Amino acid sequence: MRFHFDRSQLAWPVALFLGLGAVLPILMLLLFSVLTVEDFELVPAFTFASWREVAYSATYAVLIAKAVGSGLVTALATALAGYPVALALARLPKAWKGVALVVLLTPLYTGEIVRIYAWRVVLGSEGLVNAVLQGLHLIDAPLKFLLFSPFSTLLVLFYDTLPFMVLAIWVSAEFVDRAHVEAARDLGARPWEAFLRVILPLTAPGLAAGTFAVFALAAGDMLTPSLLGGTSGATAMGMIDSLFGTAFDWPTASALALALLVVLTACAVVLAGLVLRLGGRHALIARAAP
């Protein structure tokens, strides 16, 4: 009997790998969250105690809210900064685009720890920024808030995620026909009007994708806040990590991780959906996958 092989069946091995590697662990978190811990052993005594703890604890709620907040601020900042850059990139002559892509992405190759370390050097009391400001006699003493503060955390989160936002908007912007913008200008629109009414709707899918990605990356980041945030650097992820490792409180760690996941995914989806609505119906249809 001939076995008819259809390429779509290639999906199965991939789905299996992804299912076992990613979906299964998350489902196991669900299981772990309703177990109990006795003497450093997980006991199959089902209880919702850990969920109650997560739901009613102000600490965990604050941490999760912090994550959402970081994500929102970073998404907003990268969107605002990313648009001019992405539009400028889309206007580049074709020969330069390949180079521009490499230039944009190279800082990402360096790895998280290198970037964190580098910013620590730049922002420190004797680092670049303070040295320059003092050298120009703009300040007398080093600015302390630059490092180990919410400012440094958000700045580096912005730095890490900006290439993703720029890339997403850039891809979308490539498809915008300049003639539309010119037509709008010819009809009397001022530059910001042309942006709001022509470019923004047409690049909404890219902006939505970028927002989604940046939100997910920034809200879920653990290292940057913990290494650069000083006392403000406590994160939900850090709490999960210490609950899991040091306290061996797997049920609570699992419950908190799941709660964080659900909240972040919901926020990301809502955010991206809101951004997509900035685009016209035609922008959505044109992007529909075949």
Of 61 and 280, nearer to another protein (C-beta) is 61
Question: CA 77, CA 71: separation in Å to the nearest integer?
Answer: 10
Helix (H, G, I), strand (E, B) or coil at 138: coil
| Minimum distance of another protein from residue 150's CB (angstroms) | 19
Three-state DSSP class for residue 62: helix
The residue among 175 and 244 lying less far from another protein, judged by its C-beta, is 244
As given in the structure block, the two tokens for residue 241 are 């990590």
114 or 274, CB closer to another protein? 114
CA angle 233, 239, 240 (to 5 degrees): 135
Residue 87 near residue 114, CB atoms below 8 Å: no
The answer to whether 153 touches 228, Cβ cutoff 8 Å, is yes
Minimum separation from the CB atom of position 84 to another protein (A): 4
Nearer to another protein (CB atom), residue 62 or residue 99: 99
CA pair distance 50, 46, nearest whole angstrom: 10
In the complex with another protein, the residue whose CB is nearer, 154 or 219, is 219
Write the DSSP string, 161-194. Answer: HHHHHHHHHHHHHHTS-HHHHHHHHHTT--HHHH
